[in-house]
Amino acid sequence: MANPTRRLLRKPAGVPRSGDILRFRCNLCDAPNAVPFEALGREVPSCSGCGSTVRFRAIGRLLARELVGHDQALCRMRPDRSIRGIGLTDSGSYASLLAQRFDYVNTFYDADPRLDITDVPDDLAHRFRFVVASDVFEHVPAPAARAFAGARRLLDRNGFLLLTVPFSLETQTVEHYPDLHAFRIEGAGDSAVLHNVTRDGRAQRFERLVFHGGSGATLEMRRFCRMGLECELRQAGFSRIRFADEAFADFGIAWPEPFGVPVVARP
């Protein structure tokens, strides 16, 4: 028997909270869902159709909103091949939609089509309306400023960066390996060790490495703080910066914690 104390949220007017059942239609695959608020999470699959997370649906929502000026399900948008976009190792849950609707390419650091965001080639400069960097910049070797500058270089004059990274509300970004230069990772899992030789020849050894969703290229290089993230964006030339921490119940978007919400940044 259904719990009568639970409320069904059908409109985005209210902010979801503990005890709610969130009834929504996925903006990526159009599947209907009814999910307890407690089951939502930034990285927890919560759509019965495509398995998307809150982060992925938020990316889809913000992309559509920035492109057309209002909320619209990404899966229902009309194709417009005049809009050029580029992704950095985007999830297939929305990358396939973007490729169907826009002149979009998903790139990778270690596979074709390749792109090193810290070294953007001239033929890609200022060519894109949007850049999606979803949980990528925390894995870029120091200095992270090169990645932010690379994203700015990709955008045309009307473009925007849609960025997600895990971040804290502390006062300072923590760089785990500020002197990384010539490095290798030996072992895997809890026994993995990072060996580094700095530019001035010092040998370094690091244990207790943190990986996100795998090993190797997914090594966590830093833990951003919110203020530090905004500072990096401004120094790279972004002046209009918005932390999109609002709930949008119609698409199953709610942020139980204020950490790692998406950021929209325009030059």
| CATH at residue 87 | 3.40.50.150
pLDDT value of position 2: 41
Percent of the chain's residues with pLDDT above 90: 83
Tell me the per-residue pLDDT of 31-59, one tens digit each, with 9 for 90 and over: 999 999 888 999 999 999 999 999 999 99
**Per residue in 97-130, is it b (16+ CB within 10 Å) or e — as a string?**
bbbebbbbbbbeeeeeeebebbebeeeeeeebbb
Looking at the domain assignment, is residue 151 inside a domain? Answer: yes
Comparing C-alpha atoms, which of 12, 8, 59, 7 is closest to residue 248?
Answer: 12
Higher pLDDT, 66 or 217: 66
Determine the average pLDDT of the residues in 200-217. 84
> Cα separation of 135 and 90, whole Å?
9
Looking at the domain assignment, is residue 197 inside a domain? Answer: no
Could you give the number of structural domains in the chain? Answer: 1
Looking at the domain assignment, is residue 209 inside a domain? Answer: no
Tell me the per-residue pLDDT of 91-111, one tens digit each, with 9 for 90 and over: 998 999 999 999 999 999 889
Determine the average pLDDT of the residues in 253-267. 92
Contact 265, 241 (CB under 8 A): yes
Tell me the per-residue pLDDT of 231-247, one tens digit each, with 9 for 90 and over: 999 999 999 999 999 99
Comparing C-alpha atoms, which of 234, 212, 251, 264 is closest to residue 50?
Answer: 251
Strand partners of residue 103: 84
Looking at the domain assignment, is residue 231 inside a domain? Answer: yes
Q: Which of 57-61, 131-135, 167-171, 253-257 has the lowest mean pLDDT?
A: 253-257
Looking at the domain assignment, is residue 22 inside a domain? Answer: yes
Looking at the domain assignment, is residue 247 inside a domain? Answer: yes
pLDDT value of position 165: 97
Looking at the domain assignment, is residue 111 inside a domain? Answer: yes
Tell me the per-residue pLDDT of 56-93, one tens digit each, with 9 for 90 and over: 999 999 999 999 999 999 999 999 999 999 999 999 98
Question: Above 90 in pLDDT, residue 160?
Answer: yes
> Cα separation of 179 and 196, whole Å?
8
- Can you give the residue range of the structural domain that contains 39? 8-170+220-266
Looking at the domain assignment, is residue 166 inside a domain? Answer: yes
